[in-house]
A and B are shown apart, each in its own frame.
Chain A
Amino acid sequence: LAKTTQPISMDSYEGQEVNITCSHNNIATNDYITWYQQFPSQGPRFIIQGYKTKVTNEVASLFIPADRKSSTLSLPRVSLSDTAVYYCLSTGSASKIIFGSGTRLSIRP
């Protein structure tokens, strides 16, 4: 399974745009990039998934360049409630969903 690397922690302020980058140099051709969010005392929650270029939903945007060796999760105008751990995963047909260490995002007033 392709390994992903992301920053351990990030800090930002309310109203800012936050970009979390993830490296996946050995991503397989059939793998998707998937991001999850986890609040304290809750299970992870699916945020967004993409294969190439840009995907946007009501929560976030995901940018994946043509070489697919990295991806960037973009959270527009964050609020205090976006404080959470964000996981970047490479997922494919093996159906085995493996989580790394994640990025602990702290939003300040």
Chain B
Amino acid sequence: DAGVIQSPRHEVTEMGQEVTLRCKPISGHNSLFWYRQTMMRGLELLIYFNNNVPIDDSGMPEDRFSAKMPNASFSTLKIQPSEPRDSAVYFCASSPPGPWDTEAFFGQGTRLTVV
């Protein structure tokens, strides 16, 4: 398996534009996580899905952020409108089914710069 695949790897956009980040989890994994990482705030969990259903979105910073998982092999994180403070590295991760052990596999991340 190629691992968790994120696209694009880098995104530079102007303030006010819509940004869509994409993620393909590892086949067979049933949990998917979106994280944001900055120097100031570290690695923050934004939202996670289980079996394509959003379970906890309490980490989504504001209504400008939305995430979807239309099927088991694809998820998107959208920011509309984007702002400079959204600049960060966004990671997607997936984990396999299991009762207690939670090994998450991370993608390479998308480095977002909003100017």
Binding site for B on A (CB under 8 A): 30-32, 34, 38, 41-46, 49, 87, 91-93, 95-102
- CB-CB under 8 A from A31, the residues of chain B are 100
Interchain CB contact under 8 A, A102 and B100: no
Binding stretch for chain A, among B12-20, B63-71, B73-81, B104-112: B104-112
B1 within 8 A of A: no
Interchain nearest-CB distance for B38 vs A (Å): 12
Main secondary structure of the interface of A (DSSP, over half): loop
A-B contact pairs, 14 of them (CB 8 A): A42-B106, A44-B104, A46-B104, A49-B101, A93-B99, A93-B100, A95-B50, A95-B55, A96-B56, A97-B45, A97-B48, A97-B102, A99-B42, A99-B43
The total of Cβ contacts below 8 Å across the A-B interface reads: 65
B residues within 8 Å of A by Cβ?
4, 31, 33, 35, 42-43, 45, 48, 50, 55-56, 91, 93, 95, 99-109
